Structure 1
Amino acid sequence: MNTQALIDTAKALVADNKGLLAMDESSSTCRKRFVEQGIEDTEEMRRAYRELLITTPRLAESVSGLILFDETIHQAKKDGTPFIDLIRQAGMIPGIKVDLGAKPLAGHPGETVTEGLDGLRKRLEDYFKLGARFAKWRGVITIGDGIPSDAGIAVNAHALARYAALCQEVGLVPIVEPEVLMDGNHSLARCTEVTEQVLHAVFTELNAQGVLLEGMLLKPNMVTSGTDSAEQASVEAVAAATINTLLLCVPAAVPGIAFLSGGQSAELASAHLNDMHQGRSLPWAVTFSYGRALQQPALSAWNGEPANVEVAQQALAHRAACNRAACQGAYNTGMERS
């Protein structure tokens, strides 16, 4: 394990108020989003869309790294240039999603465990040879009647830690993503309670597995009200609850926290991130690792039409710039009108 290389990469991913573009949707998820837009779902259309994202002019001004899917990391630009090379040439860092998805947890109805540890060492070695320098694994925690259970939290925390240790062994910076879902009618207080419980379990396991905290990143949920809750917390309340929870649970040795958007609108995800940077001194870099909250405006603008590529890229670059501004506490709704 090259400790210094891991530390340097982790720092580079959260440097200069930049964030990550999560474009690691599985083929089935990509198909779903294409269908919603009325776009034909073929491998070539997926390739063309990913080329649009990767080749967006000035994207590297706001984005440090891109999280790819297995299909994507093997794809290339229309002229044959591998996507990995395009990312590097633009000054960004390629990464890869390596988990195989959340599956039902035996004996625990309503809960899941993320699979993919079998054969992971070999897959990580192959991705490193392809040029990836960081990876991502997502554990999913649902809030509901009687859940999450201690067992459900423990098994996902353990898997995240084993994944992280394997990543560092081969030279990949692990992005550890324990996501407490927004789905449900739970309160802000209940989300706070569960998120704290999950993060404590995750860092206990990371320490037990000997994971180098300085060579990893955390990708957590924001602490929010459930999407079906009658009482929705304000932007200020979400930012305060999220930061307070992280301060209780995340060691200062971790170089950065890159939030997932978790189904929030593009504008709301930026507003929450922006408020976290108002008058606070934080021990880690706090930034974004958004998927749909970055991509959706571009996908809608493109709509599968080659003639719309430029306007779609403008939409992506604008969304990324809004989030970089949020990392500096400088985002405002006037940026949306511009």
Structure 2
Amino acid sequence: MNIDELKSTARAIVAAQKGVLAADESGPTIKKRLDAIKVEANEANRRRYREILFTSAGIEQYIGGVILYDETLRQSTSDGIPFAELLARRGIMPGIKVDKGVSPLALHPGEKITEGLEGLRERLLEYKQLGARFAKWRAVIEIDEHDIPTPYAIRANAHALARYAALCQEAGIVPIVEPEVLMDGSHSIERCAAVTSSVLKYVFAELDSHGVALEGILLKPNMVIPGIKCAQQATVQQVADATMHCLTSSVPAAVPGIVFLSGGQSAEDATDHLNAMNRQVAHPWQVSFSYGRALQAPVLAAWKGLEDNVALAQETFFRRCQLNGLARDGKYTRAMESDILA
């Protein structure tokens, strides 16, 4: 493990105004995205859609890393440049999703465990050869008002995250550690804060016990937000305050960056929440984004699978990246959604 290389990669991904594009949708997920715009989800269309994103002009100002899916890491542009090479040439770190999705947690109804540790060491070595500089593993934490997550489900997922992170660092790859407390349900913001805090404390205890160097990871947590069915929704400032309070008490200062997932929020809400957090007092880590739908949904709506719409789709993507870059400095406002930025 070359800790200096890991630290350098992690810092580059979350450099000033930069964040992460999560373009690591699995086959079934990207099919849902393309079905929504009535585009057949075949290999050619999946490749073309990712090419539109990765070749958009100017995005390297705001995107420090892109998480790819296994298929996408092996694909190339129309003129034969591997996507990983294309991104690296633009100063964007190529990354790879390495977990294999979730399964029911045995003897714990309603809870999940992430699979994919078997054979991970060998896969990481191949991904490194293909150009990946960082990786991502998502743990899914179900939540209700009272009973779940159980302490065992939290521990099991934290342990798997730590094993994954250790294997990544052994291979010279920066791990993005993603423990996601879901937005589904009717739980309050206070319940989300309590569960998120507990999950993060377990995760960092396991990372420490596995010898993972915190200076060479990135954390991808959920924001502290009420469940989508909760009767009492929160203001932007309430989400920012609750999230930063939780992170300040749970995340060591050695972690170079926190890259939030959007978790089903609208593009505007995800940007607004990030902006509010960066308007607060100084924090020890870079506070950034690792968005999938919150960056891509407007792009898909603009593209519609039509080559005549590619320029509009790319302009839309750049604009979304730019707005989140401004949010990293606390300089975004909702009015900018309709303004033309220079």
For the pair 1:65 / 2:82, whether they are aligned, the reply is no
Tell me which residue corresponds to 1:221.
Answer: 222
For the pair 1:41 / 2:41, whether they are aligned, the reply is yes
Match of 1:117, SS state, is coil
Match of 2:177, SS state, is strand
Tell me which residue corresponds to 1:99.
Answer: 99
Match of 2:278, SS state, is coil
- Please give the alpha-carbon distance, in whole angstroms, between the structure 1 residues aligned to 2:126 and 2:73: 11
Tell me which residue corresponds to 1:138.
Answer: 138
CA shift for structure 1 position 206: 0.2
- Please give the alpha-carbon distance, in whole angstroms, between the structure 2 residues aligned to 1:280 and 1:324: 18
Tell me which residue corresponds to 1:246.
Answer: 247
CA shift for structure 1 position 40: 1.2
Match of 2:298, SS state, is helix
What are structure 1's unaligned runs of at least 5 residues?
none
The CA deviation string for residues 140-171 of structure 1, in whole angstroms up to 9 with x for no partner, is 00112511001100000000000000000010
Match of 1:16, SS state, is coil
Tell me which residue corresponds to 1:207.
Answer: 208
CA shift for structure 1 position 279: 3.4
- Please give the alpha-carbon distance, in whole angstroms, between the structure 1 residues aligned to 2:84 and 2:155: 35
- Please give the alpha-carbon distance, in whole angstroms, between the structure 2 residues aligned to 1:306 and 1:88: 26
CA shift for structure 1 position 17: 2.2
- 2:197–2:246 Cα contact (<8 Å) kept: yes
- 2:272–2:327 Cα contact (<8 Å) kept: yes
Counterpart code for 2:189? L
Match of 2:224, SS state, is coil
CA shift for structure 1 position 25: 0.2
- 2:17–2:61 Cα contact (<8 Å) kept: no
Tell me which residue corresponds to 1:116.
Answer: 116
Match of 1:207, SS state, is helix
Tell me which residue corresponds to 1:266.
Answer: 267
For the pair 1:78 / 2:78, whether they are aligned, the reply is yes
**TM-score with structure 2 length normalisation?**
0.98
The ranges of structure 1 where at least 4 consecutive aligned residues each deviate by more than 2 angstroms after the TM superposition are none
Counterpart code for 1:60? E
For the pair 1:236 / 2:261, whether they are aligned, the reply is no
- Please give the alpha-carbon distance, in whole angstroms, between the structure 2 residues aligned to 1:93 and 1:181: 27
Tell me which residue corresponds to 1:257.
Answer: 258
- Please give the alpha-carbon distance, in whole angstroms, between the structure 1 residues aligned to 2:85 and 2:285: 30
Tell me which residue corresponds to 1:181.
Answer: 182
CA shift for structure 1 position 23: 0.2
Match of 1:276, SS state, is helix
Match of 2:16, SS state, is helix
The CA deviation string for residues 109-142 of structure 1, in whole angstroms up to 9 with x for no partner, is 1000000000000000000011100000000001
Tell me which residue corresponds to 2:5.
Answer: 5
Report matched runs for 1:280-319 at 5 Å.
280-319=281-320
CA shift for structure 1 position 278: 1.5
CA shift for structure 1 position 105: 0.4
The CA deviation string for residues 10-34 of structure 1, in whole angstroms up to 9 with x for no partner, is 1111111200000000011000111
Between 188-197 and 276-285, the greater mean CA deviation after superposition: 276-285
- Please give the alpha-carbon distance, in whole angstroms, between the structure 2 residues aligned to 1:209 and 1:282: 26
What are structure 2's unaligned runs of at least 5 residues?
none
Match of 1:17, SS state, is coil
Counterpart code for 1:188? I
- 2:139–2:157 Cα contact (<8 Å) kept: yes
Aligned-CA RMSD value: 0.6
Counterpart code for 1:303? K
- Please give the alpha-carbon distance, in whole angstroms, between the structure 2 residues aligned to 1:160 and 1:279: 29
The CA deviation string for residues 237-276 of structure 1, in whole angstroms up to 9 with x for no partner, is 0000000000000000000000000000000000000000
- Please give the alpha-carbon distance, in whole angstroms, between the structure 2 residues aligned to 1:19 and 1:140: 22
Match of 2:230, SS state, is coil
Of all paired residues, the percent bearing the same amino acid is: 56
Number of positions where the alignment pairs a residue of Structure 1 with one of Structure 2: 338
Tell me which residue corresponds to 1:331.
Answer: 332
